[in-house]
Amino acid sequence: MTTTHASRLLAWYDRHRRTLPWRAPAGKRADPYVVWLSEIMLQQTTVATVGDYFRRFVERWPTVETLAAAPIDEVLSAWAGLGYYARARNLHACALAVAGLHGGRFPTDEAALLALPGIGAYTAAAIRAIAFDQPASAVDGNVERVIARLFALETPLPDAKTEIKARAARLVPAERAGDYAQAMMDLGATVCTPRNPRCVICPMMAGCTARKLGLAEDLPRRAPKAQKPTRRGLAFVLSRKDGAILLRKRPAKGLLGGMDEVPSSPWREGKLSTDKAMGDAPVPARWQILDGLVRHTFTHFHLELAVARATATTGRLAELAPGTSWCTVDRMTERALPTVMRKVIAHAVRN
């Protein structure tokens, strides 16, 4: 199946390949920096969302050396809205490592790539295949779905991952490995879709076991997900008369590490006591608790934030805690504000 599968898929790819801002023209080798940057951005994020972020990053930092030289706060600010902010911190750390330890060139060796911050098995394989045309098997969610259907694998994910990776690796051709990797991604994204797969136009239709058995839309199977807990807290939007809002920086490590935030009480499970949470206010003030909640979902939990709003008086300005600062509305886009904090500020402005 290997030769037939690869030749059919590559012939389809030559006709139907997607045009993406990080994809090299047909017949050209991709820039490893571009491949790495796009793959990090695409983790847990859609192609449609990543496009504009990618263009802005490359315009601002066209090489790994320029990215390494950038202050981390600027990188976090440019990343704001993409989510999963540990990726941004690792992105900067990886740029520093490539610039400092590898002379600005991404290594071609798998072990050396895996030693870099934020690069795991999938990203290393994608770089090796797409940037260096090595016969590496890059298995993302799209490829998992294609392989599970091609071989009608009934084992639910994530338990099926080991078998899927093994089968996928055996299909990688010795030549045009980079085009093959991108073809598999395109096939999963545009034809072998999660819902209503377009089997009648699939280049792999004849060899797909799931299609023959009528199981294509049912695969891959997935183990039931554990229910996410809900955490609650009280966010404090303190503004000056000129409209500036008080922000503070989160610890460098942990959830939303190094990002800016509106001060809040700790996020805990269980019922929120606003009276108790008020003890976490950044300054004593006439706090008004607004109607409604701000809701946001992280990987491992749901978050519900009540919002308290107040206007700072001149006499309170000296009492601000270390790590806090004022940000005017016109400078807000320069700050590394995660989406949940933008929701909190918008909620305070609306109410």
4-63 residue pLDDT tens: 889 999 999 999 999 999 999 988 889 999 999 999 999 988 899 999 999 999 999 999
Higher pLDDT, 331 or 103: 103
Where among 164, 194, 218 does a domain terminate? Answer: 218
74 vs 60: CA distance, rounded Å: 11
Is 154 marked active-site? no
The answer to whether residues 202 and 248 belong to one domain is no
Indicate which CATH number applies to the domain containing 309: 3.90.79.10
The answer to whether residues 287 and 167 belong to one domain is no
Q: What is the overall mean pLDDT for the chain?
A: 92
The answer to whether residues 199 and 243 belong to one domain is no
Task: Render pLDDT for 286-328 as a digit per residue (tens, 0 to 9).
Answer: 999 999 999 999 989 999 999 999 998 754 554 567 778 898 8
Higher pLDDT, 2 or 117: 117
Position 147 scores a pLDDT of: 97
The answer to whether residues 271 and 294 belong to one domain is yes
Where among 173, 196, 218 does a domain terminate? Answer: 218
Split at pLDDT 50, 70, 90, the class of 1 is low
The answer to whether residues 170 and 297 belong to one domain is no
Q: For residue 116, is pLDDT > 80? A: yes
Higher pLDDT, 207 or 84: 207
Position 180 scores a pLDDT of: 97
Domain that holds residue 119: 2-218
Q: For residue 331, is pLDDT > 90? A: no
Could you tell me if residue 88 is inside a domain? yes
Position 320 scores a pLDDT of: 66
Could you tell me if residue 246 is inside a domain? yes
Where among 198, 218, 238 does a domain terminate? Answer: 218
Contact 328, 243 (CB under 8 A): yes
Could you tell me if residue 224 is inside a domain? no
Could you tell me if residue 297 is inside a domain? yes
The answer to whether residues 103 and 204 belong to one domain is yes
Average of per-residue pLDDT across 151-165: 96
Average of per-residue pLDDT across 86-99: 95
Position 44 scores a pLDDT of: 84
The answer to whether residues 235 and 214 belong to one domain is no
Query: Other CB atoms closer than 10 Å to residue 143's CB: what's the count?
Result: 22
Could you tell me if residue 45 is inside a domain? yes
Average of per-residue pLDDT across 60-89: 93
The answer to whether residues 190 and 247 belong to one domain is no
Average of per-residue pLDDT across 65-90: 92
Position 299 scores a pLDDT of: 85
The answer to whether residues 234 and 214 belong to one domain is no
Could you tell me if residue 223 is inside a domain? no
The answer to whether residues 205 and 249 belong to one domain is no
Indicate which CATH number applies to the domain containing 180: 1.10.340.30
Q: For residue 189, is pLDDT > 70? A: yes
Q: What is the pTM of this model?
A: 0.83
Average of per-residue pLDDT across 154-169: 96
The answer to whether residues 150 and 211 belong to one domain is yes
Q: How many domains does the chain contain in total? A: 2
The answer to whether residues 214 and 234 belong to one domain is no
302 vs 233: CA distance, rounded Å: 11
Strand partners, 157: 222
